[in-house]
Amino acid sequence: MNKWIVGNWKMNGMMSSCRDLAAGLVTLEQEKPVRATVVVCPPYPYLGVVALRLMDSSLHLGGQDCSAHEAGAFTGQVSAKMLKDLSCGYVIVGHSERRAQLNENNDLIRQKAQQSLAASLTPIICVGENLEERETGKAIDVVLSQVQQAVPKGKCLIAYEPVWAIGTGKTPNASQIGEIHQMIARQNPGTPILYGGSVKSSNASEILAIPHVHGLLVGGASLDTAEFWKIAEAA
């Protein structure tokens, strides 16, 4: 199966640094082409400027979130159709930061994913347990219920991101990642499953070699052009 390498820039950078990051990736892609599908997800205000830089490349653009509504009186929200109009092909939904900070639940996340599919975007639906759930042996059940409730029928990607591994430098071991990915693969046959949480160039190959890992969702390391490209090369 093709591998996906997705960079989530989160709320980082300004216009000039996002433009430079995108331009740097386009240069690296020309110098060192990779087999993986590479997607970058900049902050909303900089989607346009990044889209211009990516235009003549095979890099893909994604949003970091979208509205659960098609259009209307939803101040501050951005629709999946608008992302598509800005040349996005992907959108992250249900990131654990939004689940925790904005109380997003599985129903809302499924609606966002459905809006994305209706707009011909591929949703990247995030799931993952927190530290307490991992330590009390509930990880499998928590992720299973997130997948059952948040993933609609259709062409989606699922990203398994244990909350305790995000931005912490801690990563689960291969058997912990493999166990969750295998369970998701049984539940959603044919759906690509990405891993996210403290991915860097030094652990990317090892994680990509785990069965049922079809790509990586990268946060911090995606802000460094050379480091992110090394991760893409590992795929």
Cβ nearer to ligand G3H, comparing 64 with 81: 64
Judge whether 2 is annotated as a binding position.
Answer: no
Q: Quickly list DSSP for 119-188.
A: TT-EEEEEE---HHHHHTT-HHHHHHHHHHHH--SSS-EEEE--GGGTTTS----HHHHHHHHHHHHHHS
Block residue for tokens 């409730």: 149
Confirm whether 227 is a catalytic residue.
no
- Phi, psi (deg, nearest 5) at residue 91: -150, 135
Q: Which of 219, 228, 230, 234 binds ligand G3H (CB under 6 A)?
A: 219
The DSSP code for 36 is S
Joined tokens for residue 184: 């998701």
Judge whether 219 is annotated as a binding position.
Answer: yes
Cβ nearer to ligand G3H, comparing 61 with 218: 218
Cβ nearer to ligand G3H, comparing 79 with 201: 201
Catalytic residue chosen out of the listed positions 60, 95, 181, 212 = 95
Judge whether 9 is annotated as a binding position.
Answer: yes
> Taking a C-beta distance cutoff of 8 angstroms, is the pair 172, 197 a contact?
yes
- Least Cβ distance, residue 56 to ligand G3H (angstroms): 27
Q: Does 218 bind ligand G3H (CB under 6 A)?
A: yes
Joined tokens for residue 122: 């591929």
Cβ nearer to ligand G3H, comparing 81 with 93: 93
Judge whether 167 is annotated as a binding position.
Answer: yes
- Which range in 49-57, 104-112, 148-156, 212-220 contacts ligand G3H by CB under 6 A? 212-220
Compute the chain's Rg from CA coordinates. Answer: 17
Q: Which residues bind ligand G3H (CB under 6 A)?
A: 8, 95, 161, 166-167, 196-199, 217-221
Which residues are known catalytic residues? 95, 161
